[in-house]
Amino acid sequence: MPAIRGVIFDLDGTLVDSRLDFDLMREEMQLPPEMAILEALTKLPPDHAARCKEILDRHEREGAARSQLLPGVADLLHAVKVRQWHQAIVTRNSRPVTEATLRGVGLHFPQVITRDDGPVKPHPWPIEKICREWQVHPAEVVMIGDYRFDIECGRAAGARTVLLTGEVDPHTYENREGADLVLRSLAEPTLLLDWLESL
């Protein structure tokens, strides 16, 4: 396998904590539990979809305003920069919310792909687009995120994948099978960096 040349990060739950409550959003939207919100918006009657989008936008704006950098992230991003690996963000958030979040926590990425730019995760398009811009093969890239859509997106594109399980024991996390590496968080970036450098 080729060495890593680029790292693509999910945003919320991976680099920042915005404390978004998706269960509360679905309840306010009158959607079934576990239904993917963005996918639901494309299938609902127009008036219901419009109300849901307003709810989503409000929650995301509030989340952006209270976002905080997660432990270990600053050290990891510095280490990635020192190694001269490409860096990018791929998020299902809107561009205005993503930009507000990044400003709020003092982060800047050369490439940022949001739901406003094209097909969203788990579709492989965001990673494929970034790889074309970087002029690298997807196998030279790792996708890091805290949800199955991140892993499915990475695998569909042909990238390596890292799943962050948060409070859940990595050994019992239900969507861990597709990931190449499973960690609780980026709080100990050395674990991730050692793995990346071993590839």
Question: At 1, is the pLDDT very low, low, confident or very high (cuts 50, 70, 90)?
Answer: low
What's 106's DSSP letter? T
Residues 79/189, Cβ–Cβ less than 8 Å: yes
Q: Does domain 22-66 have CATH number 1.10.260?
A: yes
pLDDT score for 130: 99
70-120: pLDDT as tens digits: 999 999 999 999 999 999 999 999 999 999 999 999 999 999 999 999 999
The CATH 3.40.50.1000 portion of the chain extends over 6-16+68-198
The CATH 1.10.260 portion of the chain extends over 22-66
Indicate the burial class of 3 (C-beta count within 10 angstroms; 0-12, 13-18, 19 or more): exposed
> Which architecture characterizes domain 6-16+68-198 according to CATH?
3-Layer(aba) Sandwich (3.40)
Of the candidates 178, 164, 74, 166, which has an alpha carbon nearest to the alpha carbon of residue 122? 178
pLDDT score for 78: 97
Of the candidates 115, 188, 182, which has an alpha carbon nearest to the alpha carbon of residue 151? 182
pLDDT score for 192: 96
pLDDT top residue among 43 and 128: 128
3-43: pLDDT as tens digits: 999 999 999 999 999 988 888 989 999 998 888 898 888 88
N- to C-terminal Cα distance for the chain?
Answer: 7
The packing angle between helices 46-66 and 95-105, to 10°, is: 10
Q: What percent of the chain has pLDDT over 70?
A: 99
